């Protein structure tokens, strides 16, 4: 699933290309991806100007001129690309928005597994949309002190906590693994056993990993592509994710893989030792 760096990369690319452009035509090939009134969706979009493209968590928000907004969630395999109108229409392209720049370009939504969706809402109602309202703060908006209070208030294991979109928005399986490796924290470590020093390491690792991933235009480990249809490059810099059985770049131990909170998890058993804690900093 595209996570914060992938979604942010798509948003940054689309900002430069589609802001200010008018939608002239809508072609919908798979109605079930639209999670709002279908008739209104098809009739309202033509003629609207795209005013702003932004991100909240793993969602792409496209603000339109008539006080409408499109909410796009890419699911597991969704792609949102800006392409030439003459480009071949790839299989599993479910929605095409023709843009009124001499009809030279289109915005296309493609999704192999069809877990993603698009929703049209009144812009004034965005804050009340449940999928957005329940999101936690953005990683880059948190100060260190806020992060320490936020994580320290929970008792669950640290990796599932990082994945919880209601706690922090945007982090998924790839970056939770990479963040905890950089911070040298075992993914099963209980959050309430972490000292302020541990939390400081996770906080800085979170910011560093996400910034680096955005700079490399995200991780293409499955179907993710940028708004240009190109692969990201951060997967080449993964330290643990999908590297099970390979030597750790730091210590040489073999990267392990196991389920934590129901999710496949990659870590170094030597750099990220699992220690049982009874209280803050006290080990058994």
Beta bridge partners of 72: 60, 118
Instruction: Identify whether residues 199 and 215 lie together within a single domain.
Output: yes
Task: Please state, in angstroms and rounded to a whole number, the distance separating the CA atoms of residues 57 and 217.
Answer: 16
- Residue 31 a catalytic site member: no
pTM for the full model?
A: 0.95
Residues 187 and 159 in one domain: yes
d(CA 141, CA 148): 13
Beta bridge partners of 55: 60
Residue 58 among the catalytic residues? yes
Length of the chain: 284
* Residues 177 and 233 reside in one and the same domain: yes
Question: Tell me, what CATH number does 257's domain have?
Answer: 1.10.8.50
Among candidate residues 14, 3, 2, 58, the one with its CA nearest the CA of residue 210: 3
Q: How crowded is the C-beta side of 10, counted as CA atoms within 13 Å? A: 32
188 appears as a binding residue in the annotation: no
**Residue at a domain's end among 80, 103, 133:** 133
Catalytic residue among 3, 6, 8, 178: 3
Is-catalytic flag, 263? yes
Is 264 found in the same domain as 167? yes
Residue 123: give the domain boundaries: 4-133
Q: Are residues 199 and 82 in the same domain?
A: no
Residue 223: in which H helix or E strand, if any? Answer: none
Token readout for 157 is: 């294991």
- What does the pLDDT profile of the chain (284 residues) look like in tens digits? 899 999 999 999 999 899 999 999 999 999 999 999 999 999 999 999 999 999 999 999 999 999 999 999 999 999 999 999 999 999 999 999 999 977 899 999 999 999 999 999 999 999 999 999 999 999 999 999 999 999 999 999 999 999 999 999 999 999 999 999 999 999 999 999 999 999 999 999 999 999 999 999 999 998 999 999 999 999 999 999 999 999 999 999 999 999 999 999 999 999 999 876 555 555 53
C-alpha angle 26-28-30 in degrees, rounded to nearest 5 = 165
- 2 noted as active-site residue: yes
Which of the following is catalytic: 15, 200, 257, 263?
263
Instruction: Spot the catalytic one: 55, 56, 58, 110.
Output: 58
């Amino acid at each position: 699933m595209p996570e914060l760096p992938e979604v942010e990369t798509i948003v940054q690319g689309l900002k430069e290309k589609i802001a200010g452009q008018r939608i002239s035509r809508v072609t919908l090939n798979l109605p079930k991806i639209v999670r709002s009134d279908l008739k209104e969706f098809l009739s309202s979009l033509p003629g609207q100007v795209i005013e702003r493209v932004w991100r909240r968590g793993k969602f792409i928000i496209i603000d339109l001129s008539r006080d409408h907004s499109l909410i796009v969630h890419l699911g597991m395999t969704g792609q949102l690309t800006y392409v030439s109108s003459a480009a071949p229409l790839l299989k599993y392209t479910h929605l095409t928005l023709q843009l009124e720049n001499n009809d030279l370009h289109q915005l296309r939504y493609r999704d192999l597994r069809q877990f993603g969706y698009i929703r049209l809402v009144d812009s004034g109602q965005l804050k009340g949309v449940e999928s957005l309202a329940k999101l936690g703060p953005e990683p880059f908006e948190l100060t260190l002190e806020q992060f320490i209070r936020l994580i320290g208030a929970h008792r669950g294991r640290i990796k599932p906590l990082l994945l919880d979109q209601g706690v922090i928005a945007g982090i998924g399986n790839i970056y939770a693994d990479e963040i905890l490796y950089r911070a040298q924290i075992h993914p099963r470590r209980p959050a309430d056993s972490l000292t302020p020093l541990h939390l400081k390491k996770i906080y800085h690792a979170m910011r560093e990993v996400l910034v680096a991933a955005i700079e490399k235009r995200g991780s293409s480990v499955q179907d993710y592509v940028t708004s240009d249809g190109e692969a990201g490059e951060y997967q080449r810099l993964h330290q643990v994710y999908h590297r099970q059985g390979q030597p750790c770049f730091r210590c040489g131990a073999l990267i392990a893989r196991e389920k934590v909170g129901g999710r496949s998890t990659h870590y170094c058993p030597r750099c990220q030792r699992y220690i049982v804690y009874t209280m803050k900093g006290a080990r058994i």
